[in-house]
Amino acid sequence: MPAIGRREVALKRVHLSAQPREVGAAIALEGRQGLADRLRRAIPPLEADDQCLVVRDQPFEGVGAWVGAADRRDERGGGGDRGGAQGEHPCVLRSWAQGVNPRWCDRGQRGQSDRATWGMTVRATDTTEAAMATSTPTVSVIGGTGYGGAELIRLLHRHPGVELARVTSIDRVGEPLEAVHLSLEPTGLCFEEIPPIEAADGMDVVFLALPHKVSATYASDLRAVTAKVIDLSGDYRLRDAAAYERFYKTAHPHPEELDGRWVYGLPELNRPAIREARRVASPGCFATTVVLGLLPLARAGLASGRIQAVAATGSSGSGAYAKAGTHHPLRANNLKPYKVLGHQHTPEIEQTLREAGRRGGHELSLKLELVPVSAPLPRGILATSFVTVDAAVDQALVARVFDEAYADEPFVRVLPAGGRAAEVVAVKGSMFVELSWQLGEPFEGRRQLAVSTAADNLVKGGAGQAVQSMNLILGLGERAGIDAPAMWP
């Protein structure tokens, strides 16, 4: 159990058809009479049931609350005159503790339903051991407007074991999450522009969904953060500062962070270490897809020498902001290689395979030659990797290596030998990885082993794998919140 101290305790969201003052009575039913009394005193009455109030989470000295009117048609037709623009979303952040008056806004929006349900989520400081033992862990996302951030929000918002409490960004500030990521239902959260150390305050886990080379600049700030931190960028994955500078085209601003203090977040390799980690560097999309195809071979000492891989990826891997490479007319009917033999995930894959070899008692001498391909699909990666093995390696040995490695893994599916090959459509939108393989005929004492792996670059290759690490860190079920089947077709 975490140490007793300042911590936000999540209470369930209650929906009332009356004034939100009455939320105190609902909370009292949960055995929190003291908090209920504070809320009755703290929450002012509303003038009309089509208004809302949003304030910043605060400790007991300034109880914070979210109050929102959901889907209320304004029969007067348009916004009122109480300080809010027509159609303004009820997501304006203010702080009572800082002496700022709450801001009222009119919810009037034409064409919505007549439901007038009030919702409230309350978080407040509680230092009792009983509260600490029963509280839901809270998490925040730093950098929430990109595709990786969107996937984190999608998975965390409906996660059964945690509460998504805060999302930050430098753009779309003040807008509701669902106004940017259109697939979301109303979350009651807005994008905030606050420093990372403030975004981490009171959280159990913090996700960094920032671009490469940006996350690294916050290393000194993160040292003061007591929450567990999971970074989705490439800034803490490598152990070699020279390799980082070569492949990321800049010197690492804090090379001391590359000393192993960040656990590489691939559960299939580092599950015990992730459970105990304070800092996790979540793997890249190409790295995840290629490594999962080769990891069992490396452990068995079969992946050595020159290894080639061709990996086709969807456009979401290039990020949410438009550029020539993601422009639809140029991408939709096109295939093209890019960063040939120079992609930044190359040293990450080599480092991981060497470590897997050491775990199996082998010091591997290997070099990866990676050719990424821009493919005309929004999401997904299909990688085919080629390893040269001794002619004595047969079908039975290869099948045994893969089956034993992944028999108990929750998200890796080894397809039957001789059956269909791995394909993106079978894993799209899910955490699952498909793996197929083919062993070639002997030639001059050697033979070629081709391994194909398919993954969703945003889920197992991105946000989903980060949530998998969070589940391990918090002692939750490893599949919790991330085991939905793929979308079909």
Which positions are catalytic?
285
Kindly give the interhelix angle for 346-359 and 241-248, rounded to the nearest 10 degrees: 150
- What burial letters (b/e) apply to 353-376, b meaning 16+ CB within 10 Å? bbbbbeeeebebebebebbbbbbe
Residue 392 contacts by C-beta under 8 Å, 6 or more apart in sequence? none
| DSSP letter, residue 114 | S
8 A C-beta contact, residue 390 and residue 449: no
Nearest to 68 by CA among 152, 58, 84: 84
For residue 276, which amino acid is it? E
Nearest to 291 by CA among 253, 237, 336: 237
Q: How far, in Å, CA of 331 to CA of 375, rounded?
A: 7
Q: How far out from the chain centre does Cα 440 lie?
A: 38
Kindly give the interhelix angle for 463-474 and 267-275, rounded to the nearest 10 degrees: 40
| DSSP letter, residue 119 | E
- What burial letters (b/e) apply to 212-251, b meaning 16+ CB within 10 Å? bbebbebbeebeebebbbbbbbbbbbbbebebbeebbeee
Q: What angle do CA 481, 483, 486 make, to 5 degrees?
A: 125
Q: How far, in Å, CA of 382 to CA of 286, rounded?
A: 9
Q: How far, in Å, CA of 413 to CA of 424, rounded?
A: 13
8 A C-beta contact, residue 146 and residue 458: no
Assign 111 to helix, strand or coil. coil
